[in-house]
Structure 1
């Protein structure tokens, strides 16, 4: 069992990262529930092909989660360790294994709006590949990933809410 309640210390190592924000018509808890339903990602996250929850933390949430995804015209596999901490409005993760990625770190923050009926979701992502690529290409890819993820999250929440 993984102890995912202990948060990594801040975003200090994420100095070169992409951040996007989107207002979603859902409560922070609804956003949290969709994000932590890892096995459903292939249904709504376009580049995610498969997900395996390898370890569950003491609260029953995914601790270590393996992803297979499309990246740069090929398939990649990486395992992330999730940290939930004591703040239900934040989820953080760090890569513990990867084939073409050296580092993936990120977090979602859920900021309640309109008495909690809407949520501003902030997504922070920093990633390094095992191969060198120009900085502007890396930043553009990170921004595209973050923007696409927030759009897909919003669409998924809308579809779950109307189901």
Structure 2
């Protein structure tokens, strides 16, 4: 079973504002460093993206794959691979949002499993870079709006 990487940050905005940025996938290349493109392929009845194709370049982990999303109002979102890539065989993750004073605590959890052999330490380091970069980028994007 793959290991999980988890990290949290507090963002100076409400949950709805944070979730609006998370749901704006076409803008990911502007703030999520490793995401080179994000194309919404399907939308859920509530209008939020249901299926998104990503092109990722995170050093040792570079691939194109499709994720399926499950939205939990403004409390969070989870995802998993709907169509694996050549390298990424499984990818599961979530953003969980909770009120934190005048802001929102955002917890990002990620598990990546690859179809190619990779030393566990290198894979976990790549996961940590993805998580940390995403949280920093999300915070900057939301607070800069």
TM bucket, shorter chain: over 0.9
- Is 2:119 the partner of 1:130? no
Task: Tell me the C-alpha RMSD between the 2 structures.
Answer: 1.6
Distance 2:5 2:60 in 1: 21
Structure exhibiting the larger radius of gyration computed from Cα positions: 1
Change (3 A) 1:74 1:95: closer
Matching of residues 12-161 of structure 1 within 5 Å:
16-72=3-59, 75-85=62-72, 87-97=73-83, 98-114=85-101, 117-160=102-145
Report how far residue 70 of structure 1 moved.
1.3
Report how far residue 152 of structure 1 moved.
0.5
Report how far residue 72 of structure 1 moved.
2.4
Report how far residue 126 of structure 1 moved.
0.1
- Residue of structure 2 equivalent to 1:7: none
5+ residue gaps, structure 2, are: none
Report how far residue 36 of structure 1 moved.
0.3
Report how far residue 71 of structure 1 moved.
3.0
Change (3 A) 1:141 1:54: same
Give CA-to-partner distance per residue, 1:100-128, whole Å, 9 cap, x none: 101110000001011xx201100000001
SS in 2 for 1:148: helix
Deviating beyond 3 angstroms after TM superposition, the runs of 4 or more aligned structure 1 residues are none
5+ residue gaps, structure 1, are: 1-12
